[in-house]
């Protein structure tokens, strides 16, 4: 909860800065660099959605919009593939992008082999990788899991979500709609079972009452005979 609150406050801070900058492309470029370097910020879609930020696409600073999109949806490998047309990253941005890369992998697989992680993160040995996962990921609160040195893998337990790509939104809405429909059907089934159980309870009570009345009648008849 604390992390989510911090994220929200930081996002609000950069949104206000971007609003003040208005259409000043140079100022917006600086804000984007600062936001993508911030050690506690891992979500960028709200900044990316700002109209004046999107207008960078038609300015000489359009590469900063591309950089913001990279941090919203991309990975370290994506940066390496497009480094020639993107601003050079400072060390804080490199660290951030590698953290986001772990989140992307953790969202896809719950067991991450060390070899794959080292390749994706440009890490040369297991000690360096484990230090990164512990100090920069788990201690940062963006992922929780278990390091398995014997199997040479990282078992993901919980991971923070990344910004959704535009194409993913439709799939998520479809998934949530299906879940809602299934939940509603399940609720109807449960309500029907409750009604059935209640009716059976009434039948059982009536049956028990009939039996008790018959027992009383038998007792009375026996008493008269006696």
pLDDT tens column, 59-105? 999 999 999 999 999 999 999 999 999 999 999 999 999 999 999 99
Top-confidence residue, 215 or 20: 20
- Looking at domain 88-163, its CATH architecture is Orthogonal Bundle (1.10)
Q: Give 45-49's long-range contacts (Cβ < 8 A, gap of 24+).
A: 45/72, 45/163, 45/164, 46/11, 46/15, 47/11, 47/14, 47/15, 47/18, 48/72, 48/163
| Domain ranges (residues) in the chain | 1-73, 88-163, 165-225
Asked if the model's pLDDT at residue 226 lies above 70, the reply is: no
pLDDT of residue 225: 58
Its pTM stands at 0.74
Mean pLDDT computed over 108-114: 95
Asked if the model's pLDDT at residue 44 lies above 60, the reply is: yes
pLDDT of residue 1: 44
Tens-place pLDDT, residues 114-161: 999 999 999 999 999 999 999 999 999 999 999 999 999 999 999 998
Per-residue burial over 151-189, b = 16 or more CB atoms within 10 Å of its CB, e = otherwise:
eebbebeebbebbeeeeeeeeeeeeeeeeeeeeeeeeee
pLDDT of residue 209: 79
pLDDT of residue 224: 65
pLDDT of residue 147: 98
Top-confidence residue, 33 or 167: 33
């Amino acid at each position: 909860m604390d992390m989510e609150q911090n994220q929200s406050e930081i996002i609000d801070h950069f949104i206000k800065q971007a609003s003040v900058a208005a259409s000043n492309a140079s100022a917006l470029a600086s804000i984007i660099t600062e936001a993508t370097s911030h050690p506690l910020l891992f979500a960028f879609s709200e900044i990316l959605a700002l109209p004046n930020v999107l207008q960078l696409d038609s300015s000489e600073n359009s590469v900063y919009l591309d950089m913001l999109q990279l941090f919203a949806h991309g990975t370290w490998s994506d940066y390496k593939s497009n480094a020639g047309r993107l601003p050079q990253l400072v060390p804080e941005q490199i660290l951030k992008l590698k953290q986001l890369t772990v989140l992307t992998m953790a969202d896809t697989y719950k067991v991450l082999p060390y070899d794959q992680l080292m390749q994706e993160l440009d890490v040369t040995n297991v000690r360096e990788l484990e230090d990164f996962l512990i100090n920069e990921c788990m201690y940062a609160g963006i992922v929780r899991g278990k390091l398995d040195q014997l199997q040479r893998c990282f078992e993901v337990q919980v991971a923070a979500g990344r910004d959704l790509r535009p194409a993913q939104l439709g799939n998520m809405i479809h998934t949530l709609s299906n879940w809602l429909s299934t939940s509603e059907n399940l609720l109807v089934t449960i309500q029907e079972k409750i009604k059935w159980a209640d009716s059976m309870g009434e039948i059982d009570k009536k049956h028990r009452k009939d039996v008790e009345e018959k027992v009383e009648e038998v007792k009375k008849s026996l008493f008269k005979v006696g």
